[in-house]
């Protein structure tokens, strides 16, 4: 009898564990960016520092040893402080713990005059349009769930949107319901690219939901492809090249039949977290997992390297 009771208890515990993973109790808690953002004047950097479940946006001028708190909003987590093209404004995300609603704010580059401009569920990577002062773009996920009994919940089912600040209208720029869109960039006022985890890099025409895949297969080591799809991609209008990166290598690519050209390899143990072209598009800006900033030219030569000053929270 005692043996049977033990078996029943063990089975019950097993069922409880299975149910816990299948239907986890934890609610949406947001995603903090691990990226840093360079101002178009090439002199200032914004970054997000998170501690004990809360986060603030910091800024520092290159060469300074102490960053300053740029934006804090008590009760909210903050992330993704993207600059406008002229460097005069910042757009950023704010959300409360266990709440899927994301609030988008715009403020001056010094953190003053912050105003909410839009809110909605599961919004990410908000940017000012480079071609319309009245439009912003952002990624929106359709759900927050897991696809396996043992997987961690995260946003998925993503598409890119445009929102007009004057007319208050929203338009869908992609219709792929992608598992995850890691980044996007506009090639010109009519074309843009998106980088999708596990799927690939796609080129779209604005107003046209048809897509063209920029195929990396057989052009690069297969072990690096998934890493590239998980990292940021950007486009240089003057160079007419795409900037892509694996966890340890940076490439320039024409997006066509040529193989990507490796221009930089990180030191052992240092993982590349984010890349972008500088506004003057003669240099590339890199951040890594140990809070280093590296600026290189198109040949991969290191022009400058420094560490992000540790903030006082």
Residue 89 tokens read as 């404004």
Nearest-angstrom CA–CA distance, 124 and 147? 20
Q: How far is CA 243 from the centre of its chain?
A: 15
**Reported confidence tier of residue 2, pLDDT bands at 50, 70, 90:** very low
**Reported confidence tier of residue 19, pLDDT bands at 50, 70, 90:** very low
Please give the residue that has the higher pLDDT: either 55 or 28. 55
Gap between the terminal Cα atoms of the chain: 59
Q: Which residues contact 111 (CB under 8 A, 6 or more apart)?
A: 57, 59, 69, 70, 71, 90
What mean pLDDT is predicted for residues 280-301? Answer: 89
**Reported confidence tier of residue 104, pLDDT bands at 50, 70, 90:** very high
**Domain edges within the chain:** 214-312
Q: What is the pLDDT of residue 262?
A: 96
Nearest of 150, 252, 156, 256 to residue 203 by alpha carbon: 256
**Reported confidence tier of residue 17, pLDDT bands at 50, 70, 90:** very low
pLDDT greater than 80 at residue 31: no
Indicate the average pLDDT of the chain.
Answer: 85
Q: What is the pLDDT of residue 243?
A: 96
Cα dist. 184→3, 151, 242, 282 in Å? 60, 26, 11, 20
Q: Tell me how crowded residue 159 is: count the other CB atoms within 10 A of its CB.
A: 18
pLDDT digits (tens, 9 = 90+) for 198-257: 899 999 999 888 899 999 988 998 889 999 999 999 999 888 999 999 999 999 999 998
What mean pLDDT is predicted for residues 67-73? Answer: 89
CATH code for 214-312? 2.120.10.30
DSSP 112-179: -S-EEEEEEESEEEEEE-SS-TTEEEEEEEEEEE-SSTTSPPEEEEEEEEEEETTT--EEES----BS
**Reported confidence tier of residue 83, pLDDT bands at 50, 70, 90:** very high
pLDDT digits (tens, 9 = 90+) for 176-205: 999 999 999 999 999 999 999 989 999 999
pLDDT greater than 50 at residue 14: no
Q: What percent of the chain has pLDDT over 70?
A: 85
């Amino acid at each position: 009898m005692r043996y049977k009771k033990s078996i029943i208890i063990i089975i019950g515990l097993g069922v409880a564990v299975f149910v816990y993973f299948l239907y986890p109790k934890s609610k949406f808690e947001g995603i903090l960016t691990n990226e840093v953002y360079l101002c178009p004047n090439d002199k200032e950097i914004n970054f997000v520092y998170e501690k004990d479940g809360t986060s603030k946006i910091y800024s520092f001028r290159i060469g300074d040893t102490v960053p300053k708190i740029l934006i804090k909003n008590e009760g909210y987590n903050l992330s993704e402080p993207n600059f406008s093209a002229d460097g005069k404004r910042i757009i950023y995300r704010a959300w409360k713990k266990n709440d899927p609603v994301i609030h988008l704010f715009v403020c001056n580059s010094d953190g003053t005059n912050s105003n909410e401009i839009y809110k909605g569920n599961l919004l990410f990577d908000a940017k000012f349009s480079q071609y319309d002062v009245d439009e912003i773009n952002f990624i929106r996920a359709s759900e927050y769930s897991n696809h396996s009994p043992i997987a961690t919940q995260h946003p998925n089912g993503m598409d890119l949107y445009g929102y007009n600040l004057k007319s208050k209208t929203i338009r869908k720029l992609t219709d792929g319901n992608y598992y995850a869109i890691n980044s996007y960039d506009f090639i010109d006022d009519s074309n843009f690219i998106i980088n999708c985890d596990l799927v690939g890099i796609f080129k779209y025409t604005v107003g046209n939901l048809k897509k063209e895949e920029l195929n990396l297969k057989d052009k690069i080591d297969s072990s690096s492809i998934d890493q590239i799809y998980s990292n940021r991609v950007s486009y240089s209008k003057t160079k007419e090249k795409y900037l892509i990166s694996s966890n340890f290598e940076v490439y320039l690519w024409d997006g066509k039949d040529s193989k990507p050209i490796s221009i930089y390899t990180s030191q052992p143990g240092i993982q590349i977290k984010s890349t972008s072209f500088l506004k003057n598009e003669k240099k590339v800006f890199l951040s890594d997992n140990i809070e280093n900033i590296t600026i290189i030219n198109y040949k991969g030569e290191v022009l400058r390297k420094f560490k992000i000053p540790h903030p006082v929270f």
